[in-house]
Amino acid sequence: MREGDNMKQKTCRGRVSRLTAGLAAASLIFSTAACSSGSGASAPSGSAGGKKWQGKALTVCSWGGAIQAAQKKTIFDKFAEKYGCTVAEDTDPSPAKVKAAVQANNMEVDVWDVDTDFAFRGEKQNLFEKIDFSVVKKDGLISNFITDYSVPSECSAICISWNTDKFSEQNHPKTWKEFFDTAKYPGSRTLYSNPMSMLEAVLMADGVDKGKLYPLDVDRAFAFLTKHKKDVQTFWDSGSQSVQLVSSGDNPLGELWAGRVIKAKEEGQPVDYDPNQAIITADSWVIGKGSKNVEMANDFIAFATSAQIVADYAVEYPGNAPCNNNAYKLMTSEQVGKLASSPEKIKNQVYYDVKWWVENYDSVYQRFQDWKMK
């Protein structure tokens, strides 16, 4: 059995060496992995030139789809051209993602295009860098939506929309009251799975004057919703889903973003919208806490909110409305007419009260969530 013992020792040694080899291999995996994760999109060191951010890269996270395509064309590419940098793009600027990046101390996105209410809420959670207002000009920007940490990027309209195979330009609900009138307009409804803007619509449907909405009577809104819950088949979560629900006829009536509807209509989908009684919410530019390009980010935001750029974007994507009132002066009346919201249309629309929502968002959203599950 001596030989066996020898064998054993040998294989023992063999095992050790293989083990270390295995460890080395494992650490190699990790290190190469780290490498491949580190070497992301490095900015091409472009042709020489005295532009301010020559060779730098800015990362912007926006909403994807048609919105971001329009932003790329009218904002990102123009900014890159002017400053000699590149603009890397990401999509889905969700609160969880911003918070994740801050917690991980790994802010890869410099500028985020977020919901304005989140811009307000995130400020409390210390998720953003302060805006440098010596660079970014407040002139013309809708003042309700400005904070120390954010400026509005655009306004969007939540509005009544319908499937054109089921309803028509003449025969469709024109007010939220009619929207919930199933006797007159049969079929199921889809609502945005977000109490913000929905409660406003509901209260208007219940007869509250648009000037007297705030502070919202939440109890009354939920009472009304409960009464009509059976007519609401779905609560949509994403813009793509909302258009699909209405255009497929699954839910011939919906509370949708005008921008999505306009885009889908252009592409031949059987959907349309009415700007009347639309609730105007906003998106905001913010700079992620820990961004390594804060100065460039401020330049970007200043650029993106300047009147001319805002006007160009609004022409490209008329589904939303400019956040900079000076932009209207730079547009033809025909171009303004296409917008979901304008100084003319706003008379029959309502700006949401972001301050009220910041105070009440969590509790109302929780309540909505609970109500939905009841």
Partner 1 sequence: MPRDMEIALKNTKVAQKEKEPRGRSFFRPWMLILPPAAFFAVFFIWPLVQILAMSFTGPQSGLTLASYAKFFSSPVYLKVIATTFRISLVVTLVCLVLGYPVAYAMTVCSKRVCCLLTIAVLIPFWTSLLVRTYAWMILLQSNGVVNNILKSLGLIRQPLPLMHNELGIYIGMIHILLPYMILSLYPVMKGINRDLILASRTLGAKKGYTFLHVFVPLSMPGVSCGSILVFVMSIGYYITPSLLGGTKDIMISQAIQVQVNKLMNWPFASAISIVLLAFTYGILYLSKKVMHVQKLW
Partner 2 sequence: MLWFFTILIVLFLILPVMIIIPMSFSASRYLEFPPPGFSTQWYQAFFGNPQWVNALKISVELAVLTTVLSLVLGILAAEGLSKSEFRGKDTIIEIFMMPMLVPGIIVGIAIYRFEAEISLASTFSGLLIAHTLMAVPFVIRTVLSNLIGLNPNYELASRSLGAGRLTTFFRVTVPIIKPAIFSGAMFAFATSFDEIIVTQFLCGIRITTLPKRIWDGLNQQLDPTITAIAAIVIVIISLVMVLSNSKTLFGREPRSVPQEETDLDDT
Binding of partner 1 by 10 (CB under 8 A): no
**Cβ-based nearer residue to partner 2, 3 or 209:** 3
Cβ(354)–Cβ(120) below 8 Å: yes
**CA separation, residue 188 to residues 56, 183, 229, 235, 335 (Å):** 51, 11, 10, 11, 34
**Among positions 95, 228, 308, 325, the unique one binding partner 1 when judged by CB under 8 A:** 95
**Among positions 235, 276, 290, 356, the unique one binding partner 1 when judged by CB under 8 A:** 235
**Among positions 96, 105, 134, 333, the unique one binding partner 1 when judged by CB under 8 A:** 96
* Phi, psi values for residue 108, rounded to 5°: -85, -25
**Among positions 181, 217, 250, 359, the unique one binding partner 1 when judged by CB under 8 A:** 250
Q: Tell me which H or E stretch contains 167.
A: none
* DSSP label at residue 144: G
Contacts of 325 (CB under 8 A, 6+ apart): 140, 141, 142, 343
Binding of partner 1 by 234 (CB under 8 A): yes
Binding of partner 1 by 244 (CB under 8 A): yes
Binds 183, which of partner 2, partner 1, none (CB < 5 to 8 A, cut-off by type)?
none
**Among positions 82, 184, 229, 355, the unique one binding partner 1 when judged by CB under 8 A:** 229
Binding of partner 1 by 365 (CB under 8 A): yes
Contacts of 328 (CB under 8 A, 6+ apart): 311, 322, 336, 342, 343
Cβ(224)–Cβ(205) below 8 Å: yes
The least CB distance from residue 369 to partner 1, in Å, is 6
- Site residues for partner 2 per CB under 8 A: 3-4, 7-8, 10-12, 14-15, 18, 22, 26, 29-30, 33-34, 36-37, 40-41, 59, 61, 63-66, 88, 90-92, 96, 100-101, 103-106, 108-109, 237-241, 243-244, 247-248, 264, 267, 269
**CA separation, residue 106 to residues 38, 116, 214, 221, 258 (Å):** 12, 23, 39, 41, 35
Q: How buried is residue 309: exposed, middle or buried, by Cβ count under 10 Å (0-12/13-18/19+)?
A: buried
Binding of partner 1 by 171 (CB under 8 A): no
Q: What is the number of other CB atoms lying within 10 angstroms of the CB of residue 278?
A: 29
- Give the footprint of partner 1 on this chain (CB under 8 A): 1, 4-5, 8-9, 12, 15, 94-96, 99, 125, 229, 232-235, 237, 241, 244-245, 248-251, 362, 365-366, 369-370, 372-374
